Copies of this chain bind each other. A is one copy, B any other.
Amino acid sequence: MEFSSKLLENAVYEMSQLPGIGKRTALRLVLHLLKQPEERTQLLSNALMTLKSEINFCKTCNNISDTEVCEICANPKRDETLVCVVEDIRDVMAIENTSQYNGLYHVLGGKISPMEGVGPQDLYISSLVQRVKEGTVKELIFALSSTMEGDTTNFYIYRQLEGLEITTSTIARGISVGDELEYADEVTLGRSILNRVPFESSMKAN
């Protein structure tokens, strides 16, 4: 792509460094900003810069927060004996949206993936083990992706916790609500039969 302006080329290049944004999309976004009042660009730049320089990660659960301890960890109404282990802050948001969970979280910041060069030392696993050792937590719920990396991470943490008094569980894998059986994959369907739940408790969940 040939640009008539170095400034434009530079802006497009920087924009296209974002994931999923190619050169063409970047050009569209940059030209859109050019058409808008300068204020718009300023607001965007400021928001990004402020976020980057002032953001905190909760020192207990590693969730993104404006304060030292995040709102969830600081909320006395939440059950502090229950900790849900997730990869990412987006998973916290997804679980919070269900309004079905009243415990705390622990954000790992990713999952163990040798292919991408992510090892246990790159994740917040030791702080999780430390948290369990402190004794308040009674149950850990693993809510990682159902992939090989997710399973590896679950297992690694499980081994780290050996000898500690803690119940561990994983979120249920099964047929999605609203899905038809004939289109479900065999592994999921097989597991959902093995891990069947009493009918009464399945009714309660609705």
Contact = CB atoms under 8 A, between A and B. Distances in A.
Interface of A: 1-8, 10-11, 13-15, 17-21, 25, 27-34, 38, 40-56, 63-66, 70-72, 88-90, 92-93, 96-97
B5 A17 contact: no
Nearest to A38: B52
A18 B21 CA distance: 12
Given A14-B43, A18-B33, A63 B4 contact: yes
A5 to B, nearest CB: 5
Contacts of A28: 19-20, 90
A205 to B, nearest CB: 22
A70 B10 CA distance: 17
Given A31-B90, A33-B18, A52 B48 contact: no
B17 A25 contact: no
A55 B71 contact: no
A93 B1 contact: yes
Contacts of A11: 47-48, 50-51
Given A4-B70, A15-B47, A34-B52, 5 more contacts: A4-B71, A4-B89, A31-B89, A34-B51, A45-B49
